[in-house]
Amino acid sequence: MADGPAQDQVLGDYAALLRILLPEACGFYCYSREGAAIWKDPGSGAVSPNGRYESALAAFREAECPAAERVDLGHGAAYLLPLRSEKDQTLGVLVILVEPPASTMDAVRCLELARPAVQTLQRELSLRFRLLDSYRKLNIQAAEERLLHDVDRVAHDNGDCNHVLGKVLALCRHYLQVDSAALLVPDRRIALIQGDGLNNAELATMLDASIEAQGEDRQGGLRIVPPDKWFGSDLYTVNICHADKRQAGILALAGWRTADFSQRRRTRVARYLASHVETILQRGFDDLTGFMAWPSFEDLLRTMGHAAGDSNNALLYFDMDRLHVANDTLGREVGDEILSGFARIAREELPGHLLTRITSDSFAALLVDTDIEMARQHAEKICSSVRLLEFGRGDRIYRASVSIGVGPLGGSDEVEGGPLAAAKVACGAAKDRGRGRVEVYQAADESIIQRFDDIRLVGQIRNAIESDRLQLVAQAIVPIREGTGHPYCEVLVRFLDDEDRQVPPADFLSAAERYQLMEELDRWVVTRTLQLLEPHAVRLAGTGTRFAINLSGQSLGSEQFLPFVQDRIVASSVPPEMLCFEITESVAVANLQRAQTFMHTLKRTGCKFSLDDFGTGLSSFAYLKLFPVDTLKIDGSFIHDLSSNVVSQSVVAAISEVARVMQLDSVAEFVQDEATLALLRKLGITWAQGYLFGQPASLSERIAGLVGNSSEASIVASPLSSRSVLRK
């Protein structure tokens, strides 16, 4: 408000009115309830306020319901008259200075004379204070809304977790006008303090007391600590919880500079802040292990990898061995206990180093300023400690183990495939060599070289699928017994690298299987085969032509693959009777329930099925009762030495007899010479396949030949069986 009548004519008019009502007065002062001068009219200045006046004025302001009071100033007097609102709230004080003899009148008489001006002044001040209060509340609401908006924006930042949380604390200080904002989350190694007034020891004390009081005053997973718990009304704290509602830490706001934010508003803001802090923590850290989330860790690796130079930074890649066994036999709760036990061991062995959880059972650690030998020693200790973990129920015991790869952090010319590539490939070598061990990346290690080749091929394979740079070729399967039917062919997939050179099937299929690309390849083969067949489906229908598609274990184990195949068949004009799906015996047994569902579902539509690599299992004949197959394809290991091995002859003879009794076709793969062919005819096998009958040719050319000569009936589409590709 204005300081003097020259600056506020409206309030100055009250001074003129007061001079008319109290002509004996020599000066007027008006103060707010906080003690600030609203306006002054010192008049003649004959009477000067002194120490007694200041003390009386201070006591007058501090009184809850002050009454009119007279203060003797020696050569005059000051009359202190309270200014009140309609609700009897103190708005301020009006001071009237008088000289003798007027100074002898009592305060009541002075108030009575000044009443018209005082009442008008009170109404004016009430209106002004209401406007100021409304303005203050609007400012508070605007500050709260800006805080919540900015916190929400920052909370969606995918940067480093500590950096994002630091931004949240800075926003709290700015909008809430607090001297200090702090966050303590011990198991996430977060201790952030901005401003003065709090320290780690005080935060730890608050957290301990809050955890002890768990269960008291809980509000929707939050516990708002009473504001006078440690620092009186100057501190406000709120619990930070894990996803399972266990308390993880504490957020504290101390040194409130104004009382503008009410208790209710503080509670609402605290709830909102805690919710977003918990969201940031859940995104930035794995809830089970407390390790850094993989996206943040990966960004850090990229940054450090570009700037690494010759620095000693090592990486460890961990893969828990056979964790799925524990999950399947003992339950996922035990699986979580195993992972928690591993996390505890890793944190104890690698204090101060960054750890992350990549997938459900794979982890990584970044060891800064640590050479490869020291990293290997850490890995060996972790590996040994994990082997001591045992979990079980009754007589079912799971002994944990972890395979660990040690490698440099990027930057090396010999390391390709990302900053984790070397450690990851070394871990794969540890798996290959028996599990539960540590392997260090060695550039000359043949196993590691093969895995790096696989990593390079993965990107090329994915690009080939997306850009349609794979090829389908067909190899003939011919009838070798009279009256068997039309010849057909098996379709094989070929892959061209970035320079259009054909990659050996064994190489790219190894990479596809290892890095979970088989289903994508199978989908491509199914789609492409139907696309090639669709224009000729009408011409080929009724000729006995069949097209079978070999399925990988990854496809058969996928819930989405069966609907995909059904949709593709329905969308095409290719009759289901022309399709025959080949499933290897080992894949069918490993995915028994899904294999049965897949086969019975498509069998009802008219599709045929062939059991590939038959004879390699321990109970091959027993499986025939479980699967609705039409053809048995004998594994090539029994064919390549058939003419010289009596055992192979006995197995093939037995399979041939079972097929005859069950009225199934039988196919012998890997037929290379006339002697083998003659023996197969003698044993009663109905079909033969191998280089004896010719090299694979383009599938589109084979289809064109079938359309031109319908006597060449059937085709079998075999997309992605690495064994079948190798032997053909």
Amino acid at 358: I
515 pLDDT above the threshold of 80: no
Work out the pLDDT band at 405, boundaries 50, 70, 90.
Answer: very high
Give dist(CA 664, CA 141) in Å, integer: 80
The whole-angstrom separation of Cα 458 and Cα 515 is 7
pLDDT higher than threshold 80 for residue 687? yes
The larger pLDDT score, comparing residue 660 to residue 128, is at 660
What pLDDT is recorded for position 344?
92
Single out the residue of 541, 616, 539, 553 nearest to residue 582, CA to CA: 553
Between β-strands 716-717 and 697-698, what pairing exists: parallel, antiparallel or unpaired? unpaired
Q: Which two tokens stand for residue 378?
A: 């850490």
Evaluate if residue 487 carries a pLDDT over 70.
no
User: Helices marked H in 515-645 — which ranges?
Assistant: 518-533, 537-540, 553-556, 561-571, 585-590, 592-603, 620-623
- Domain 9-131 and domain 156-284, same fold? Reply is yes
Tell me what pLDDT residue 258 has: 56
pLDDT band (50, 70, 90) for residue 602: very high
- Flag whether pLDDT at 714 surpasses 70: no
Q: Return the minimum-mean-pLDDT range out of 188-202, 375-389, 441-455.
A: 441-455
d(CA 668, CA 639): 7
Among 60-74, 557-571, 674-688, 706-720, where is mean pLDDT lowest? 706-720
Question: What is the identity of the amino acid at 471?
Answer: Q
Is the pLDDT score of 341 beyond 90? yes
Q: Where are the domains positioned within the chain?
A: 9-131, 156-284, 292-443, 456-727
Which pLDDT belongs to residue 382?
95
Per-residue pLDDT tens over the stretch 235-279? 778 888 877 777 888 888 887 765 466 777 777 888 888 888 888
6 pLDDT above the threshold of 60: no
- CA distances, 130 to each of 4, 133, 403 (Å): 21, 5, 71
> Which pTM value belongs to this model?
0.47
What's the CA gap between 292 and 619, in Å, rounded? 47
**Of the given ranges (226-230, 328-332, 517-521), which has the lowest mean pLDDT?**
226-230
pLDDT for the residue numbered 450? 56
Crossing angle (nearest 10°) for helices 518-533 and 699-708: 30
Cis peptide before 101 (omega within 30 of 0): yes
Tell me the residue ranges of DSSP E strands in 210-312: 218-219, 222-225, 235-241, 247-256, 292-293
CATH homologous superfamily for the domain 292-443: Reverse transcriptase/Diguanylate cyclase domain (3.30.70.270)
CA distances for 180 relative to 126, 176, 198, 281, angstroms: 35, 10, 7, 21
pLDDT tens, position by position, 692-701: 888 888 888 8
Closest CA to 376 of 404, 401, 400, 402: 404
pLDDT over 60 at 727, yes or no: no
Q: With cut-offs at 50, 70 and 90, classify the pLDDT of residue 430.
A: confident
Q: Mean pLDDT over residues 92-118, rounded?
A: 77
Q: Is the pLDDT of residue 670 over 70?
A: yes
Amino acid at 501: R
CATH of domain 156-284: 3.30.450.40
User: Above 50 in pLDDT, residue 415?
Assistant: no
pLDDT confidence of residue 316? 95
Whether 108 shows a pLDDT value over 50: the answer reads yes
Q: What is the mean pLDDT of the chain?
A: 79
Instruction: Please give the pLDDT value at position 8.
Output: 56
Name residues whose C-beta falls within 8 Å of residue 56's C-beta, 6 or more positions apart in sequence.
69, 71, 78, 80
Give residue 271's Cα distance to chain centre: 23
**Could you give the count of Cα atoms lying within 13 Å of 79 in the half-sphere of its Cβ?**
28
Structure tokens at 410: 């990027």
Lowest-confidence segment of 7-21, 79-93, 189-203, 317-331 by average pLDDT: 7-21
Summarize the confidence of residues 328-356 as an average pLDDT.
89
pLDDT in tens, 463-478: 777 777 788 888 888 8
Q: What is the pLDDT confidence band of residue 4, given thresholds at 50, 70 and 90?
A: very low
Q: Is 507 exposed, middle or buried, given 0-12, 13-18 or 19+ CB atoms closer than 10 A?
A: middle
Average pLDDT of span 44-64: 73
Q: Is 583 exposed, middle or buried (0-12, 13-18, 19+ CB in 10 A)?
A: buried
If you compute the radius of gyration of the chain from its CA atoms, what whole number of angstroms results?
Answer: 43
Confidence of residue 653 (pLDDT cuts 50, 70, 90): very high
Inform me whether the pLDDT recorded for 392 exceeds 90: no
Q: Say what the pLDDT of residue 244 is.
A: 72
Q: What is the pLDDT of residue 46?
A: 57
Q: Which position has the token pair 């003879």? A: 653
Encoded amino acid at 35, one letter: G
From the number of C-beta atoms within 10 Å of its C-beta (0-12, 13-18, 19+), residue 481 rates as middle
Output 253 or 232, whichever has higher pLDDT: 253
Q: What is the mean pLDDT of residues 616-620?
A: 58
Q: Residue 260 has what pLDDT?
A: 66
pLDDT of 3 over the 50 cut: no
Fold topology of 9-131: Beta-Lactamase (3.30.450)
Q: Predicted confidence band at 566 (pLDDT cuts at 50, 70, 90)? A: very high
Confidence band for 444, pLDDT divided at 50, 70 and 90: low
Is pLDDT at 383 greater than 70 in this prediction? yes
- Domain 456-727: assigned CATH number: 3.20.20.450
